[in-house]
Every structure is written in structure tokens, then in C-alpha cells.
């Protein structure tokens, strides 16, 4: 008996139908209908990437281990593990669409404007129109006093600050605009008690609703992210990211600080990050069809070292006991003062940090995640170079940091790279053949492995026995991909002929060690922090994961390598780059800026380096997933299942509207 299997796909008008006998795999039926369903794991039910949505009828699911209960309830099935038992309508998510979205920059995702955002109510920077009486022999008032009067009479602003360079342009702008001008003014709302400040003067009356540009910036040790925002609508109009140009002078904050201490080092590092920032601002403005000179407000998040280096402030005290910064709450500066390529008088708000190793990226992350308003105890984890963790709720906040290193950002790993075109972002290894299947960002050949790819690779190598729990490569494994390389045992993820570079892409023993140290550091950090306030990991309501690549972590695999604690997946929330998101919120709304100041004030910093228990926790976590496997029951189960051929459920499921 044959059954009609009808496939629907997004964006395609006509569904395709085939008739197949009972027991046919959906993936096979799709093949008959000429519909490509990617099966990176080779149809083993292990990668979960062939998930399809059963819209009508039912299928028999052989395995749903890679699907969450919720996904199954929604009607998802793995095409390679589900068989036809009657007429069905199957929806196939368009995989090309995902690829295209990722192609230009994986960071790009729709950002929703806060519901309560209102320009001009909550925006400190405003566009004001002024019409001045021209001077005459009977009224020889100077230009500036004339403008001050117009501000007073037309906008009720009594006192206005102006910079000298803007003053030098005043006469020309007034006359060019025939005494009608548009002023961009920073009202300096909030608790500052300073008079409004002129940011820009433009001849004529600009369209009131044309974009007023602001930039939210996250300066990561490894990656710099810029969001270009229209302050009127609140919408993010361009998102760009790039490696921090300082990487060439050290991959972690400590080596940057050391370099900054050398003759001219501080200036060079400042110059390098500004080069990156200015390139990104230029690119973002190009995409939004604007110009950098129109960016009238900037909000910057970043760890304390990055903030010091951006401002040219010596960071040496950060790495020397007792580990203090020069400044956590940087006074307001302008783009001109720091050399940022924006409107020269644009205010640059550096968000407040808390300590040497808990910077503005973390306060911004707390703001973006809403941890400071949570009812239940919540853990916020920034899976970045510095592995900062915040634990708390609306009543209290404690924070710590550990030096995880840049391995998860693709740096410090031989073939590591940023999550951009050509990066292997997920790997599945066939348990029998030990052959890898890779998902590459964009449609190009691979050229390296990004953070999520590294986690995925590590996990797969461990689960398939290519790595032992100490991270040693099993050189006896029956595959030519395992070999003794210059850096010890290594596994070839892609052969030279398949890659963009024409060279093998490998994971070396050194890479593995770096990754193990990074994950151990992060794991030890949050466990020690939770212990210090007497909260068991089980008592944590939610685990919020920030960090520029956090959004793309496969939970299962992150748990399998012991990076994340083994808890119910529903308690994990992946927030992506919360640092830039916090900067975005503070950029938009002066109330959020007050709020983040409050977060910084409330947060108690716990110094891990003064804590022996951290070192113990760290060394225990240097294994896959941990010396104490009982802390990771799901991994224990997965290892058993893999041995018996049963795959574990997938966590990072493509959903129809992605």
C-alpha cells in the first residue's frame, strides 16, 4: 500500500508529492521528490539537521533523541529517522535561506526595538529646528548669542554648551542655511545636571523623521561589533563585526596589557582598535547609505582592559595585584577626543565597569539579559575570552571572571577563525567511518573552524572515541584523518583539496589543550561563584548565555565537553552578543543608562585569583566533560548510546521561521 507524501517548502508555491510504500524513510521520499534534505551525519539521526515538520498525518519516529520534547510536540521529526505509515504533508525548512542569512555576517539578526521606546521622550540626543532673525545694522548681536536666544525662545533651553570646533563652523552654517538651521543637541538627560550640549549644526531644516544615527559598540578582546541605529525609530539598520585589530599584539587581555606597557605600546593598541572601529563604522554607514559624520551618539561596551586601551589609559594596574583599574565609570568623552570617526562632537558613552575583570561588557550583558530584574536566581555567562559570570536576581548581584583565553573565538587555535564565510560552524563525525561532515558558513569551501565548530568538533571527537577524556587523540583510530602532527596528535577535519586555503584543516593537541583550559576555566568560574554564595547549580532558575558566539552554541555539545553544566536544556537561554545589545539599549534610552549605572553600583565582585577553590575546580574541569562524570549524567547516557548506536537529541533545531 502506497501513501501520498506531500512536501511543502517556504517560498515555493507548488507542493511536490510522491507515493511511497509504508515504512519508507521521509528522507528517501524526499529524494524521490527531488527535494534535497541535508543529512550531515549521513542519516544516523545524530546531527538532527534533517528535522522536518509533519504538518498533516503522522509518521513513526524511530528516534527522537536529537529532538527536544517540545520540538516533538510541535510535530518535528528527523527525516532520516521517521517512516511513512499513511498520507502525510511534510514541511521542509529552506536550508539555503539559513545559509544566505549567514553568508555576509553570522551576527546579523533582527533586533527588536524595545516596546516602550519613544523618541524624543527617552532619547537624550535630539534634532531641533531653529529659525533666527538675521543680523542688521540695528541688531549687531553676535552669532552665538543670537543662536542662544533662539534656543531659549524656540525650545526653552536656557544654557547650551558648544565646543570650539563647532563654534568655528557656526557663522558659515547660519549663513549657508539662511538663518534656518538644524541643531543636534545632547540634552544630557538623567542625573548628570549638566546643561545641554550642541553635537552638530546643519544648514536648513532637516526632515524630522529622517534617521538620526547612533552607534552601539562592543569591543571584545577578540571581536569588535558595531550596530548602527536610527535613534528616531530605534531600529538597528546595520550590524557589522570584525576581529579586534589588537589581536596581532596579543590574544588575551594580559598580553595586551603587557604590550601596552612597552614604549609606544598603548598608543599603538589604541590606534589599532580605532582602526577596526572606524572601518566598521564606515562599513555600517555604507550599508545604511549614510556617512560616518552623521553618527551623533555612540555607546561603547567592552571589558575594562578594552575600555582603557580604547581611551589610551594605561592598563598596567589591571594585571598587577591588587588588580585595580584606573577608571570604571569613564567620564563622558567625544568622538573627537578619542579619534573615533563619527560626528566629532558625538558623545561617546563608555558604559560602566565593576572591576578589572568585570567590565562594561558584563554590566551591559546584565542589562540586556534582564538579570537585574529577575525574580529567581539566574546565572549570566559570557562565553568570551574572559569568561565572566554574574549570579543574582533583582535583589543582589555577584560577579567573577576567569581568563578563559580566546580559543572559543577561534583565536589561539591553529585553524581557528571568526564565525564568518568559510568557517566550519558545526561538525558531525560518523561513528563508524570517523569521517566528518561539516556545515560551513556561506556556500564557500571551508577555510577554518569557528567557536561553535570547535565545540562541536571537540564533542564529536570525544563521543566517537577520537579523543579520550584527557584530550589525547586516539592515534590507533582506524582513519587516515588521525595522525601525529607537528603539535602532537591531530585530526584532519578537511583535506587540503576541499579547503579554500589548499591546506588541511586540523585540530591539534595544542588546540585541544587550549580549548580544555578555556572550558575548564569557565566551568570552574561559575561553580565557584555559585558556591561562594551558597547557591547549588540546581538552584539556578535560568542560565543566560551571552558572548558574541553564544547564540550559536549547540547546548548538547557544550554540555558534552563540560563547558556548560548538565541541566535541563529549557533552562538555557542563548542571548548572543549581550554586550552590544546592552550598549544598544543604553544608546536608545537614558533610563537604561541610569539602570546600567545602578547595575554597576550593585554588583559585588568576587576575586577568583584569591580563591584556592577555583584552582581545584579548574583542574577537575580540565577533562572531557569532567573528572566527575556523575555531574554530567546526560553525557554519561550519550556515551552509552553512542556505543550502542543510539544518538542523543539535538538541541539547536532549525525552526520554520528562522
Collect all residues with Cβ–Cβ distance below 8 Å to 384 and sequence separation of at least 6: 220, 221, 222, 361, 404, 408, 409, 546, 547, 548
Roughly how many angstroms between the first and final C-alpha of the chain, as a whole number? 36
Residues that bind a copy of itself (CB under 8 A): 135-137, 139-145, 161-162, 164, 167-168, 170-172, 175, 194, 311-314, 316-317, 321-331, 333, 337-338, 355-356, 605, 607, 610
φ/ψ of 237, rounded to 5, equals -100, -20
In the complex, least distance from residue 164 CB atom to a copy of itself, rounded to whole angstroms: 5
Question: How many helices (DSSP H) and strands (DSSP E) are in the chain?
Answer: 18, 28
Pick 43 or 352: Cβ nearer a copy of itself: 352
**Distance from C-alpha of 78 to C-alpha of 523, rounded to nearest angstrom:** 32
In the complex, least distance from residue 133 CB atom to a copy of itself, rounded to whole angstroms: 12
In the complex, least distance from residue 406 CB atom to a copy of itself, rounded to whole angstroms: 25
The three-state secondary structure class of 119 is: coil
- Which value, to the nearest 10 degrees, does the dihedral of the CA atoms of residues 520, 524, 526, 529 take? -160
- Of 53, 74, 76, 439, nearest to 63 (Cα)? 76
Grid cell, residue 496, equals 587540503
- Biggest alpha carbon–alpha carbon distance for the chain: 101
Contact 113, 160 (CB under 8 A): no
Grid cell, residue 66, equals 536529537
The three-state secondary structure class of 183 is: strand
Helical segments of 288-321, H only: 304-311, 316-319
Contact 414, 487 (CB under 8 A): yes
In the complex, least distance from residue 313 CB atom to a copy of itself, rounded to whole angstroms: 5
In the complex, least distance from residue 161 CB atom to a copy of itself, rounded to whole angstroms: 7
Pick 316 or 640: Cβ nearer a copy of itself: 316
**Distance from C-alpha of 542 to C-alpha of 189, rounded to nearest angstrom:** 34
- Of 651, 597, 621, nearest to 65 (Cα)? 651
Pick 71 or 386: Cβ nearer a copy of itself: 386
**Distance from C-alpha of 547 to C-alpha of 557, rounded to nearest angstrom:** 17
Cα 567 versus chain centre, distance: 22
Count CA atoms within 13 Å of residue 81 on its CB side.
30
Pick 22 or 133: Cβ nearer a copy of itself: 133
Amino acid at each position: 500500500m502506497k501513501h501520498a507524501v506531500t512536501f511543502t517548502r517556504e517560498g515555493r508555491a507548488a507542493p511536490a508529492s510522491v507515493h511511497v510504500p509504508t515504512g519508507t524513510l521521509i528522507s528517501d521520499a524526499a529524494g524521490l521528490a527531488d527535494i534535497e534534505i541535508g543529512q550531515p551525519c549521513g542519516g544516523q539521526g545524530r546531527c538532527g539537521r534533517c528535522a522536518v515538520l509533519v504538518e498533516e498525518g503522522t509518521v513513526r519516529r524511530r528516534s527522537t533523541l536529537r529532538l527536544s520534547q517540545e520540538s516533538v510536540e510541535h510535530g518535528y521529526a528527523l527525516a532520516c529517522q521517521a517512516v511513512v505509515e499513511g498520507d502525510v504533508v511534510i514541511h521542509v525548512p529552506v536550508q539555503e535561506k539559513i545559509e544566505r542569512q549567514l553568508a555576509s555576517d553570522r551576527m546579523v539578526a533582527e533586533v527588536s526595538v524595545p516596546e516602550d521606546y519613544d523618541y524624543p521622550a527617552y532619547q537624550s540626543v535630539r534634532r531641533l529646528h531653529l529659525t533666527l532673525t538675521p543680523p542688521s545694522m540695528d541688531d549687531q548681536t553676535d552669532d552665538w548669542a543670537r543662536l542662544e536666544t533662539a534656543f531659549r525662545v524656540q525650545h526653552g533651553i536656557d544654557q547650551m554648551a558648544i565646543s570650539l570646533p563647532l563654534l568655528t563652523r557656526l557663522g558659515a552654517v547660519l549663513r549657508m542655511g539662511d538663518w534656518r538651521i538644524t541643531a543636534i543637541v545632547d540634552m544630557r538627560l538623567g542625573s548628570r545636571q549638566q546643561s545641554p550640549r550642541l553635537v552638530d549644526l546643519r544648514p536648513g531644516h532637516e526632515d524630522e523623521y529622517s534617521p538620526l544615527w547612533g552607534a552601539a559598540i562592543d569591543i571584545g578582546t577578540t571581536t569588535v561589533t558595531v550596530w548602527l541605529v536610527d535613534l528616531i525609530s530605534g531600529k538597528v539598520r546595520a550590524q557589522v563585526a570584525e576581529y579586534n585589530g589588537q589581536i596581532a599584539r596579543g590574544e588575551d587581555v594580559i598580553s595586551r596589557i603587557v604590550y601596552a606597557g612597552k614604549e609606544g605600546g598603548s598608543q599603538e593598541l589604541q590606534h589599532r582598535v580605532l582602526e577596526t572601529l572606524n572601518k566598521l563604522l564606515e562599513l555600517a554607514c555604507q550599508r545604511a547609505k549614510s556617512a560616518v559624520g552623521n553618527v551623533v551618539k555612540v555607546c561603547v561596551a567592552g571589558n575594562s582592559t578594552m575600555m582603557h586601551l580604547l581611551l589610551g589609559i594605561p592598563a598596567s594596574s589591571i594585571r598587577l595585584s591588587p588588580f585595580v583599574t584606573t577608571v570604571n565609570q569613564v567620564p563622558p568623552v567625544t568622538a573627537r577626543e578619542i579619534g573615533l570617526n563619527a560626528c566629532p562632537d558625538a558623545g561617546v558613552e563608555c558604559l560602566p565597569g565593576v572591576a578589572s575583570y568585570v567590565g562594561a561588557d558584563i554590566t551591559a550583558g546584565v542589562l540586556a539579559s534582564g538579570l537585574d530584574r529577575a525574580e529567581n536566581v539566574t546565572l549570566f555567562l559570557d562565553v568570551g575570552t574572559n569568561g565572566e559570570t554574574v549570579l543574582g536576581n533583582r535583589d543582589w548581584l555577584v560577579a567573577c571572571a576567569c581568563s578563559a583565553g580566546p580559543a572559543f573565538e577561534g583565536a589561539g587555535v591553529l585553524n581557528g577563525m571568526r564565525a564568518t564565510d568559510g568557517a566550519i560552524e558545526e561538525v558531525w563525525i560518523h561513528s563508524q567511518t570517523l569521517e566528518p561532515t561539516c556545515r560551513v558558513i556561506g556556500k564557500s569551501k571551508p577555510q577554518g573552524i569557528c567557536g561553535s565548530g570547535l565545540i562541536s568538533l571537540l564533542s564529536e571527537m570525544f563521543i566517537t572515541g577520537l579523543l579520550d577524556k584527557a584530550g589525547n587523540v586516539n592515534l590507533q583510530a582506524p582513519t587516515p584523518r588521525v595522525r601525529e602532527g607537528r603539535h602532537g596528535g591531530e585530526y584532519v577535519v578537511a583535506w587540503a583539496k576541499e579547503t579554500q586555503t589548499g591546506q588541511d584543516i586540523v585540530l591539534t593537541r595544542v588546540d585541544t589543550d587550549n580549548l580544555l583550559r578555556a572550558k575548564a576555566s569557565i566551568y570552574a568560574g561559575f561553580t565557584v561563584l555559585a558556591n561562594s554564595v551558597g547557591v547549588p547549580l540546581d538552584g539556578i532558575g535560568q542560565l543566560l548565555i551571552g558572548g558574541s558566539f553564544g547564540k550559536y552554541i549547540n547546548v548538547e555539545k557544550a554540555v558534552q565537553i563540560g563547558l556548560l553544566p548538565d541541566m535541563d536544556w529549557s533552562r538555557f537561554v542563548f542571548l548572543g552578543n549581550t554586550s552590544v545589545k546592552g550598549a544598544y539599549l543604553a544608546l536608545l534610552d537614558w533610563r537604561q543608562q541610569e539602570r546600567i549605572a545602578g547595575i554597576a553600583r550593585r554588583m559585588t565582585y568576587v576575586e577568583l585569583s584569591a580563591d584556592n577553590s577555583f584552582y581545584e575546580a579548574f583542574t577537575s574541569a580540565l577533562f572531557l566533560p569532567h573528572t566527575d562524570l556523575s555531574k554530567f549524567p546526560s553525557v554519561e547516557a550519550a556515551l552509552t548510546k553512542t556505543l550502542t548506536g543510539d544518538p542523543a537529541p539535538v538541541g539547536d533545531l532549525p525552526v520554520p521561521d528562522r
